[in-house]
Structure 1
Amino acid sequence: MINKDMTIGEILDINFKAAEVLMSFGMGCLGCPSARVESLEQACSIHGLNLDDVVEKLNNL
């Protein structure tokens, strides 16, 4: 189960299809070094996204 404290890297390692979901929310820089260590909560904050919406979509993959 994906949660807000997981890094983007961990999420992508669990399910490569998560990249499509994250990109659909406007997170286009998934390959940048900071994305590998940034938490999902941090990424959502930076991109102005609703964290709960993103977590729900990722967990419905």
Structure 2
Amino acid sequence: MKITKEMEINECLKMYPQTKRIFTKYNMGCLGCMGATAESIEIGALMHGLDINEILAELNKIIEEQKLN
């Protein structure tokens, strides 16, 4: 399943725990806060002034790499 901008941050982390390092890299440190359970990846990126396409590319790359290993 591909990660999309509409996916909630918490949902992404539950499905793909390895994505935590990407969220941490972009200082989206609200991984344990209410925002992670209620906000989409897109909203989280916008709130942090980040490029959603760049983040999605990295998130999807890390899950694809995991599938290959």
For the criterion TM > 0.5, the same-fold answer is: yes
Range class of TM-score, shorter chain: over 0.9
Percent of paired sites with the same residue:
34
Q: Which amino acid aligns with 2:58?
A: K
Deviations 1:2-61 (A, max 9, x none): 000000011001110111111101111200122112000100000000000000000001
- Aligned-residue CA RMSD in angstroms? 0.7
Larger Rg: 2
Higher helix fraction: Structure 1 or Structure 2? Answer: 2
TM-score (norm 2): 0.84
- Judge which range, 47-56 or 25-34, deviates more: 25-34
Q: Structure 2: where are the runs of 5+ without partners?
A: 63-69
Q: Structure 1: where are the runs of 5+ without partners?
A: none
Are 1:48 and 2:49 counterparts? yes
TM-score (norm 1): 0.94
Q: Between Structure 1 and Structure 2, how many residues are aligned?
A: 61
The alignment partner of 1:58 has SS state of helix
Are 1:60 and 2:61 counterparts? yes
